Amino acid sequence: MTDTQPDDDGLVLIPDALRPRLAANAAEPDGDHVPVLKLFNPSGPGTWLITELDPDGDTMFGLCDLDMGCPELGSVSLRELTGVTLPFGLTIERDIHFEGRLPISQWAEIARRCGSIREAEQIVRTVAPASDTAPAVDPD
């Protein structure tokens, strides 16, 4: 699977509808952007909240968590994530229901205190309820 071709479930890691927002965020690197998408390992450790995609089409920026108790802000390669082969033929997936809700700095602080993005999500849901106006994005 590539980031623009669907996997077996018909999902694309970065749909065309999200690319302009990711690019706009990358053009303003000092901004405290709300995460645009969440990528995750469906069979184990690994969660990424992505705010930016560089013009190279590969380098993403966001909150990265490999479930070692210390989520951190940094860059990750889209190419590397799409190349990950997991057990049972699984691949890294995009959470199609994810809503960023808070700026990435707040996500980072909550995730560091909790020790993981997954734990932080429970807190974020209570402090920043879902938006009724969140844009819908097709799974592909």
What's the whole-model pTM score? Answer: 0.86
Q: Which of 50, 70, 68 is nearest to 60 (CA)?
A: 50
User: Which of 9-13, 46-50, 132-136: highest mean pLDDT?
Assistant: 46-50
Is residue 9 over pLDDT 80?
Answer: no
Q: Across the chain, which distance is largest between two alpha carbons, in Å? A: 40
Q: Tell me the per-residue pLDDT of 45-88, one tens digit each, with 9 for 90 and over.
A: 999 999 999 999 999 999 999 999 999 999 999 999 999 999 99
d(CA 13, CA 94): 5
